[in-house]
Amino acid sequence: MALIRALGVILALSFLLNMAMFTVTNQPHWRQWAMLSLRWAVVLGLCVIGLFVLRRAAVFV
């Protein structure tokens, strides 16, 4: 669980830093990197929610 939390923090910081670099330099590749890290953060969040649902559903089986 700590690994998943650390990955979430790393992805959030990556998004913020890349968007800051895009704002400062106005180069589109920084925005692309920011959107890529945001996309993976959303995937990670959906996986965590899925794990919680599966863990909760195991109680009813």
pLDDT in tens, 16-60: 999 999 999 999 999 999 999 999 999 999 999 999 999 888 887
First-to-last alpha carbon distance for the chain, in angstroms, is 23
Q: What is the pTM of this model?
A: 0.83
- How many Å is the Cα radius of gyration of the chain? 15
pLDDT at residue 45, as a whole number: 95
SS3 40: helix
Q: How many CA atoms lie within 13 A of 35 on its CB side?
A: 6
Tokens representing 38 are: 């945001």
pLDDT at residue 16, as a whole number: 98
Q: How many CA atoms lie within 13 A of 48 on its CB side?
A: 14
